[in-house]
Amino acid sequence: MSGKYKQVAYYPGCALEGTGHAYNRSTRELGKALGLDVVELKNWNCCGAMEVKNVDPKLQTYLSARNLSIAEAMGFDTVMAPCNGCYHNLKKAEYDLSHDAASREVTGRLSRKAGHKTYEAGKVTTIHALDWIKDAIGEDGLRARVKNSLNGLKVANYYGCMYTRPRHIFPEKDKGPGSESTSKPHFMDDLLAAAGAENVEFPLKTACCGGAHTLSDSDTSTKLVLNILTTAEACGADVIATECPTCHTGLEMHQVRAEKVLGRKTSIKILYFTQLLGMALGLSARKVGVQENLSDSSDLLRARGLG
């Protein structure tokens, strides 16, 4: 273990306390199994994902900045956000506060009105759950801890679109060897390969699942998801590994809807990367919340000795 990120502030966000609870559960259990400590932000608020930015993008910046100010007040310089939307919004707030005077003015005014210290850019770094495991434990550390190898499991790693876009809010990426890539992300591939999985070549790893349009245009979302599912199957994958609760829920829900509405059935299973890593470390499927997934992977996991 490198010692880096051994203890981080944890921002679950709204989705992980709702439809993405299995991701919350498996992230926490994986951390425990690896000897990593996550301390949940006290009295955190929604990051302003989806609707708020359509009302006022600077209000969204403030909402994310408030969470960063809470982390700073708790004595942390790193916040780990497993949700792509939360991760994206906290990173964007950092960028906006560094580059836009109007965003700083609005955040300062609302912070004073709310009665808390105004967050200043550069005090806290936001990382994703993938950064957390990759930098705190790494592939060698994972490989040494594997008790139940994922050997034989073919995985399509799906990162979604908000993990890498827009590129300018992720200055730590695209820095050469050892850094994450925005054009072809690989951190999830690296970690699951270390746990024994066979990663298939999957060209849609950053394609949009249509999550933001699920309510306003369900048919478009279903078609986008169906493209992801059928492509993963064509690539030979048994499982799509996810690292975002919105993407994960969208893939599961629209897999069902594609069969009911479009008559297109796919059999590929959908699991969080934290669930797969947890089971590789010897945690039970129930411990990492597999039973909470809509996608029923029980037969596949039992066949691979992971159930």
- What would the pLDDT profile of 82-92 be if each residue is shown by its tens digit? 999 999 999 99
User: What is the structure's pLDDT at 8?
Assistant: 98
Query: What is the model's pTM?
Result: 0.96
Contact 266, 233 (CB under 8 A): yes
Cα Rg of the chain (Å, integer): 19
Show me where the domains of the chain are located: 7-127, 148-303
CATH architecture of structural domain 7-127: Up-down Bundle (1.20)
- The SS3 assignment for 289 reads coil
Q: Which helix (H) or strand (E) holds 21?
A: helix 21-34
Three-class SS of residue 153? coil
Chain segment 12-54, per-residue pLDDT in tens = 999 999 899 999 999 999 999 999 999 999 999 999 877 777 7
For 261-293, how does the pLDDT look when each residue is reduced to its tens digit (9 = 90+)? 999 999 999 999 999 999 999 999 999 999 999
The CATH code that applies to domain 148-303 is 3.40.50.11810
Is 90 within 8 Å of 79 (Cβ atoms)?
yes
pLDDT at 228: 98
The arithmetic mean of pLDDT across residues 68-92, rounded, is 97
Nearest to 266 by CA among 302, 285, 305, 240: 240
Residue among 237, 227, 247, 245 at smallest CA distance from 192? 237
pLDDT for 203-257, tens place per residue?
Answer: 999 999 987 766 566 889 999 999 999 999 999 999 999 999 999 999 999 999 9
